[in-house]
Amino acid sequence: MRKFLLPIVVLVAGCAAPPQVPPSAVPPATPVAAAAPFEAWEVVTSRIEVRIYRDGPMQKLGHNHLITSNALAGVIELREPRTASGFTLQLPLDSLVVDDSAARALAGPDFANPVPENDRNATRRNMLGEAVLDAARQALLRLTVDSLTGGPVNFEARVRVGLRGEERLITLPLTVNFDGDRMQVQANVHLRHADLGLAPFTAALGALRVRDDFEVECRLEARRST
């Protein structure tokens, strides 16, 4: 969609400036067994994909959008019990790619049509600009664990998302598998714009708009630090 707003785990983007949602009160961080010993695992590969969809009676004039990055990095602190574990991850906002043709070709029929280069470039400039991600103010999206439940494979994490100088709490389902010194983590989640403090873009009295919900998929591999 040539004018859109995309939040992103997630990650947020747009070609126009929708109204901002006032920040809600976020409670202080809950200590995660800070005194307990832990094993440090370093993220060595990652992949984030955010799928955002057009909506409204005039939606055929726009595009569905795919935002990707391979630059999520950080450290996972593995503790016993596993629910006492935590992580600190960072995503450079400058790493976000808008509508890569090869990625769209693999993303299914909703993304089959290519997006013109001029549209991709304009979308990315506005996505990183002051009205949306404001990358000049805070260049890194930060993710930290507030609490962790479940296990031993499927977990639910309460995660603090640091963006635009603010923090928001979201719930993130995680699947964690081990293979020797390799840890593989996957998260798939539906979010809404308000979860990240934004409102979806609309135009033409709502006839052309971004769908309120969007999908985030994240996969990463970590290795035990030596």
How high is the pLDDT of residue 158? 97
- The mean per-residue pLDDT over the stretch 67-85 comes to 96
Residue 60 has pLDDT above 90, yes or no: no
- The mean per-residue pLDDT over the stretch 95-123 comes to 92
168-209 pLDDT, tens per residue?
999 999 999 999 999 999 999 999 878 887 666 666 656 667
pTM above 0.85, yes or no: no
3-30 pLDDT, tens per residue?
333 333 333 334 444 445 555 556 666 5
- The mean per-residue pLDDT over the stretch 120-149 comes to 89
- The mean per-residue pLDDT over the stretch 45-62 comes to 81
pLDDT band at residue 164 under the 50/70/90 scheme: confident
Is the distance from CB of 201 to CB of 209 less than 8 angstroms? yes
